[in-house]
Amino acid sequence: MPPNVINSQKDFGSARLLGNQRKRRMGGCLIPAKLFIIRVTDESDYGAVIVSASYRTDIPAFYAPWFLNRLRACEVFVKNPYGGRDYRVSLAPDDVDGVVFWTRNMAPLMAELDLVREVAPFIVQFTMTNYPRALETSVIAADRAIADMRALAGRFGARSVVWRYDPVVVTDLTPPEWHLENFAGLAARMEGVTDEVVLSFVHLYSKTKRNMDQAARSGGFGWRDPEVAEKRSLLAKLAGIAKRHGMAATLCSQPDLLADGMTGAACIDANRLADLGGQSFKSRQKGNRAGCLCAESRDIGRYDSCPHGCAYCYATRNRATAKKSYAGHNEDIICL
């Protein structure tokens, strides 16, 4: 095993200070030797990692300066959302196989993406649904989102962008017929921009139900969770529309809803990253929940920190908490 590598999760959480204060070079970055720790997994795999930025919050939209600071520092620390020890993720080029961004607004990071690409290939999982403001209070308009995705594809290739029409939410404002018309219009404009669109129905956690109920009361509309057969029928129709516009429709973490013309989504997609980087790398499937086909990754975000205010969001308990977190953010801190 290489020197200064922690070989167990227990050791990783309570790592000793290694070496001395002199600095060592790591993938072109200078970092203190006492922080020279390489991310490892459960056994002897101490290779590079895919960085997820982030399914817990919208880093490109709200925390781009912080992310760039951490990228230049070649490391980031992450608060464990499940109560365990905080952990460190190296962002040195030798330690990163790829980066997956999750966002509704890539614009704040667009000018610096060449810097990201110097570290590793990246994918942008870009959510665009064009829902009414009663469901999405402050996301950018579809016109802007499409323009940004076109710009990304133009600079880095169509494989760098994945469109997410996700989650599908059925309300009085957005009944199934509305989704078919809305999706068809967006898909026509997205033709040639990407080769994949990710779909899913809303995951109804207790906080999601609470927030949807609150939005419905405020907006004066009703909402419902359709039966499985109705969901499959709608998904099959959406998949057919996507196919006509040159996109494969994939389904995120809901294998019981797979309809004709669809496959399961690997949102953190090692094969796509390998295509973009021009070389393969070792990865293993390690989803975040049942039915998830994602490759193993390390997420560097934090829950309850995205102020977009989407009613169906599973990563935010309430918008007031998220707005307070964002207002108090310091872009120079090592941990979001």
In this structure, which CATH number among 3.30.160, 1.10.1060, 3.20.20, 3.40.50 belongs to the domain 48-62+94-327?
Answer: 3.20.20
Side-chain half-sphere exposure of 46, counting CA atoms within 13 A: 13
Give pLDDT, residue 230. 98
pLDDT > 90? residue 309: yes
Query: 251: closest CA among 168, 149, 136?
Result: 168
Residue-averaged pLDDT of the chain: 87
Q: Are strands 23-26 and 29-32 parallel, antiparallel or unpaired?
A: antiparallel
pLDDT > 90? residue 82: no
How is the chain split into domains, by residue range?
Answer: 48-62+94-327
More confident residue, 328 or 44: 328
- What are the tens digits of pLDDT across the range 282-292? 888 887 777 89
Give pLDDT, residue 200. 98
Q: What is the four-CA torsion angle of 228, 234, 235, 236, rounded to 10 degrees?
A: 110
Give pLDDT, residue 286. 83
- What are the tens digits of pLDDT across the range 225-258? 999 999 999 999 999 999 999 999 999 999 999 9
pLDDT > 60? residue 263: yes
Q: How confident is the model at residue 47 (pLDDT cuts 50, 70, 90)?
A: low
Q: Torsions phi, psi of 318, nearest 5? A: -155, 150
- What proportion of the chain, given as a percentage, has pLDDT over 70? 86
pLDDT > 70? residue 34: no
Q: What is the model's pTM?
A: 0.86
- What are the tens digits of pLDDT across the range 190-217? 999 999 999 999 999 999 999 999 999 9
Q: Please compute the mean of the pLDDT values over residues 71-89 and round it to a whole number.
A: 92
CB atoms within 10 A of CB 15: 16
